[in-house]
Amino acid sequence: MCAQERPPTQAGAHSEPPPGRTVLDERDIARALTRISHEILERNKGGRDLVLLGIPSRGVPLAHRIAERIAAVEGYAVPVGSLDVTMYRDDLRLKPARALMRTDIPSDGIDDRVVVLVDDVLFSGRTIRAALDALNDVGRPSAVRLAVLVDRGHRELPIRADFVGKNLPTSLVERVQVRVADTDGVDAVTISDGSDGSDGEAQA
């Protein structure tokens, strides 16, 4: 899912860790992405027909990192893009003030390709449902798979991730916050009880 937006910071800039208990640090995230990359290649029997589409905002840099790891193994670049799901969300009428993010489909398109959607947190499943609707407007892939850094449970729709960095059991009142160095200046996943004022993750 896509977290509520924060003002971006320059990559590498100093950033205080978010409130809460850290469940994944920089090394943990790196290992999780490496494992996901190898699992994608094993499932797909290589990377020739793959397209990675990150869901803004933090799914996009995660998709690029996975693509870099795949390229290091396979010796060629895998197309990477982004897929904005804002206008496809089923809660748009309840929260109409949403900033549109960028959709960037690779030049060769997604028709007859295996598309791997990449997101930071999987929660209710509603963001992924919106992503599937958005995909219908840009092409017809041969298969769609889902890679997430964190699966925190509490699904409201029958959606399951194919590749998971960490399964993180949570209660509904807890907040899971993902930060990536590309936009936040630090790589970290934290969990808090929601009483610290952090925006956490609303729905995905």
Alpha carbon 99 to chain centroid, angstroms: 18
- Classify 199 as helix, strand or coil: coil
Confirm if 51 and 116 have CB atoms less than 8 A apart.
Answer: yes
Question: How many other CB atoms are there within 10 angstroms of residue 9's CB atom?
Answer: 16
Q: Which single residue is written with the structure tokens 């949403």?
A: 98
How far from 45 is each of 38, 48, 50, 114, CA to CA, in Å?
10, 9, 10, 11
pLDDT tens per residue across all 204 residues of the chain: 443 333 333 444 445 555 689 999 999 999 999 999 999 999 999 999 999 999 999 999 999 999 999 999 999 999 999 999 999 988 776 666 567 788 999 999 999 999 999 999 999 999 999 999 999 999 999 999 999 999 999 999 999 999 999 999 999 999 999 999 999 999 999 999 865 444 334 446
- Both tokens assigned to 204: 């995905």
What pTM did the predictor assign? 0.85
Would you state the pLDDT for residue 89?
Answer: 86
CB 81 within 8 A of CB 53: yes
Contact 98, 92 (CB under 8 A): yes
pLDDT of amino acid 110 = 98
- Domains of the chain as residue ranges with CATH: 21-192 (3.40.50.2020)
Q: Which of 177, 185, 187 is CA-nearest to residue 9?
A: 185
Kindly tell me the burial class for residue 19, based on how many C-beta atoms sit within 10 Å of its own C-beta (0-12, 13-18, 19 or more): middle
Q: Which of 179, 175, 178 is CA-nearest to residue 192?
A: 175
Task: Return the pLDDT at 10.
Answer: 41
Q: Which residues touch 116 (CB under 8 Å, ≥6 apart)?
A: 40, 50, 51, 52, 53, 63, 66, 144, 145, 146, 147, 162, 163
